[in-house]
Amino acid sequence: MNPVTLRCLSVLLLLAVGGPAAAGASLYERLGGQSAMESISATLIDRVVADPVMGRSFKGTKLPRIKQKLAEQLCELTGGPCKYSGDPMPQVHAGHHITEADFYGMVESLHTLLRERGTGLTETNELLRLLAPMKRDVVEGPAKRRAP
């Protein structure tokens, strides 16, 4: 089994066995609040854009806006005070030819980023579980990566 497939399966397994949330504190609070949402968003987008394959989906886009809207989305999804004000996910990602491999590459980048930040396994799994349903609105290509 190749390393990318193994990592993706590991992430999916972790999603399936995620632990309970800390009593009383929202995921937003446990992740570090608004500054964490902005930092996670900016760092994740910078890493994905720097990837020679995944970064192609971001050519010609407004990166500051993408970072802002992702931070809003993370804030709302995790129970923070924000409301996502961007366009619907299918509309945002249409025409960018994002493959399943691109999607899982971004998941892996997020997982690595959260681990580097010292985010707990429970919080990491909870966030990934909230983001997983977006796959159907993001992926439009075949499961394999596009040729360079």
Interior CA angle at 148 toward 140 and 146, to 5°? 20
- Per-residue pLDDT of 64-80, as tens digits, reads 999 999 999 999 999 99
pLDDT classification of 124: cutoffs 50, 70, 90: very high
- Could you please state the CATH topology (level 3) that the domain comprising 28-138 is classified under: Globin-like (1.10.490)
3-state helix, strand, coil in the chain (%, to 5): 65, 0, 35
Q: Where are the domains of the chain?
A: 28-138
Kindly state the average pLDDT of the residues 104-116: 96
Tokens describing residue 103: 């999607």
pLDDT score recorded for residue 62: 93
- Residues with Cβ within 8 Å of 16's Cβ and at least 6 positions away in sequence, in order, are none
- Per-residue pLDDT of 7-57, as tens digits, reads 544 544 444 444 444 458 999 999 999 999 999 999 999 999 999 988 988
pLDDT at 121 over 50: yes
pLDDT at 147 over 50: no
- Per-residue pLDDT of 129-143, as tens digits, reads 999 999 999 998 554
pLDDT at 114 over 80: yes
pTM attached to this predicted model: 0.78
Kindly state the average pLDDT of the residues 98-126: 95
- Which residue has better confidence, 28 or 94? 28
CA-CA distance, 94 to 122, in Å (whole number)? 32
Kindly state the average pLDDT of the residues 94-105: 89
**Neighbour-count burial for 46-70, b at 16+ CB within 10 Å, e otherwise:** ebbbeeeebebbbeeeeeeebbbbb
* Contact assessment for residue 105 and residue 138, using Cβ atoms and an 8 Å cutoff: no
pLDDT score recorded for residue 141: 53
- Residues with Cβ within 8 Å of 94's Cβ and at least 6 positions away in sequence, in order, are 140
Q: What's the mean pLDDT when you consider all of the chain?
A: 84
pLDDT score recorded for residue 3: 52
